Chains A and B, each alone.
Chain A
Amino acid sequence: DQQVKQNSPSLSVQEGRISILNCDYTNSMFDYFLWYKKYPAEGPTFLISISSIKDKNEDGRFTVFLNKSAKHLSLHIVPSQPGDSAVYFCAASYSGTYKYIFGTGTRLKVLA
């Protein structure tokens, strides 16, 4: 049972445009969500997080939106840059637990 789903395995975007990566979850107990970026031959790198008491969090070019009623979160990258080309994972956890549940990832390619 995949509790965290990233239904788009890949996404291509022109440089300078907006990239929108989506993530759906099924467990309503999740209260903390993160996005990680992974380059080949490297470990995942923390990008941005959001707790369930918020519906938006921004950090520079990156914004994460959380829609709790739809159990959906999205990562917006504006403007997209070729260096953003990587695999993006969303992950979720809930208070008192010790693990994150990861989605299967979306491969973003930003075209110059």
Chain B
Amino acid sequence: ETGVTQSPTHLIKTRGQQVTLRCSSQSGHNTVSWYQQALGQGPQFIFQYYREEENGRGNFPPRFSGLQFPNYSSELNVNALELDDSALYLCASSLGAGQGDYGYTFGSGTRLTVV
């Protein structure tokens, strides 16, 4: 059973640029959630995708967008990058919304630095 894989592991972007982060969900999972973890903070919910549709969204502006593909993998896109977007971006897969004895399975994250 493979876990959640995220790519790239690190990247550096310039303010104003656009970035795409990728996530392959754990085998058997149909739901992907994205979280942003700023330094010294807990993960904050960005959005969740279920069956290729956005299933809920946190308090993030529209320049944060996503996709889920038929194989349940997912992308997070961020346009017009700002310095405050620098953070660890975590992808989590689950079967359903994540409530249950096992919660999410997280990937190792993508560390984004905006300069």
Contacts and interface: CB of A to CB of B under 8 A. Distances in A.
Contacts of A44: 43, 90, 104, 106
A25 interface: no
B48 A99 contact: yes
Chain B binding surface SS class = loop
Contacts, number: 64
B41 A104 contact: yes
A4 to B, nearest CB: 7
A72 to B, nearest CB: 17
A103 B40 CA distance: 10
Contact of B33 (A89, A95, A99, A101): A99
B56 A97 contact: yes
22 contacts: A4-B42, A32-B99, A34-B103, A43-B4, A43-B90, A43-B107, A44-B43, A44-B104, A89-B42, A97-B97, A98-B48, A98-B56, A98-B97, A98-B98, A100-B43, A100-B98, A100-B103, A100-B104, A101-B45, A103-B42, A104-B41, A104-B42
